[in-house]
Amino acid sequence: MILASIFPAQLTALRATGLVIAVLIIGFAIVRRRELRNADVILLLLAGLGLAIVSGTELTDRLLSALSFEKGNGGRILGLAVIAIFILFLMALRALSVGARNARQLQAVLEGISSEQFRTAEHRKQFKGKVGVVIPAYNEADNLGYVLDQIPDEVCGLPTATLVVDDGSRDGTEEVAAAHGAVVSRHVVNRGGGAALRTGYRLMVDSEAAIVVTLDADGQHLPAEMPNLVQPVLDGKADVAHGSRVLGHAEQNHFARELGIVFFNRLVSFITRTHVTDCSNGYRAVRTAVLPTLVLKQEQFHTSEFLIEAIKRGVPAVEVPVTVEQRLHGHSKKPAVFRYGMGFANAIVRTWLR
């Protein structure tokens, strides 16, 4: 009697089709189990089993009735849709988790390769005790040479050494950097400015550089202003000196971007309870010993992440007036205004909440 109440009295064509698909899914998982990851095999088996239960039993009807999705007026269809959306939501969460894990693994591989090449080439001694100038670059062959030629040999009494992290360029950026005397570390694929900086930071920590200065490869930041950033760190007034175009000078930008800078400066100031005038400026100097204490994960929207992380960790910091000019050649690698704003906001919130 119990079995009779569980199994349907009549096997319709739709139920039969569902059972066949369920068997195929389970069979595929079993046959390909050596080629698939364990988690994927389990998911396929659960999907096949679930489809078999839905198609071959009345358990789904009982569950829908218990959830007040009664027959008639599309009640059961709505119930199935709700359950399906919930399952898809769980699958989406898993996909995001797997994607994040793969991204971390890829970044670890890229950093590991760069570190090993850097160590093998004995570049570490070139940066020890110096001001390490780290420049992330992606397809900046037209601008990079000019920027490298402007970097001073000495800043505030300390010699400088320059590292260009070529983030998967395809235009000869690596060759230009080497031709102008910089040490080059290369990512074989483009990962974003934040990923390139993480590699640069790791190499500077390994090299025991005294201070790390970061600036853009497109000519927007002036290397001549580097002493203004290094001096407060060198004097012990702060461990990080952030460049600020608001305190200094900036070329006129698009109105939407100018408005966005104002909004995000106020947002960061509000959530950190710290007055911030320029949260999107990548021109900064940092004491190398501070870098291992910061958790940096952003691939692209890294400027605000660094600033917020430093505030959260209680790192003494100052803002220094700097100039931000128009890029020398080519177009910005930043996405369109709306996408950039959404990505920037996401980076701010995620950094603050973690």
Below-70 pLDDT ranges, the chain: 1-11, 70-76, 333-336
Query: What's the pLDDT score for residue 1?
Result: 45
Query: What's the pLDDT score for residue 164?
Result: 97
Query: What's the pLDDT score for residue 74?
Result: 66
Give backbone dihedrals phi and psi of 284, rounded to 5 degrees, phi first.
-155, 160
Query: What's the pLDDT score for residue 333?
Result: 63
- CATH of 126-353, picked from 3.30.379.10, 2.60.120.260, 3.40.50.300, 3.90.550.10, is 3.90.550.10
Query: What's the pLDDT score for residue 346?
Result: 87
Return the domain boundaries, the chain: 12-100, 126-353
Query: What's the pLDDT score for residue 145?
Result: 95
Rounded Cα–Cα distance for residues 326 and 288 (Å) = 29
Nearest to 281 by CA among 196, 194, 216: 216
7, 11, 132, 199, 316 from 135: Cα distances, Å:
67, 68, 10, 11, 23
Quick one: the chain helix, strand, coil %, rounded to 5? 55, 15, 30
The greatest distance separating any two alpha carbons of the chain, rounded to the nearest whole angstrom, comes to 92
Query: What's the pLDDT score for residue 76?
Result: 64
Rounded Cα–Cα distance for residues 166 and 305 (Å) = 21
DSSP string, 208-232: T-SEEEE--SSS-B-GGGHHHHHHH
Q: Please indicate, yes or no, whether the overall pTM of this predicted structure exceeds 0.95.
A: no
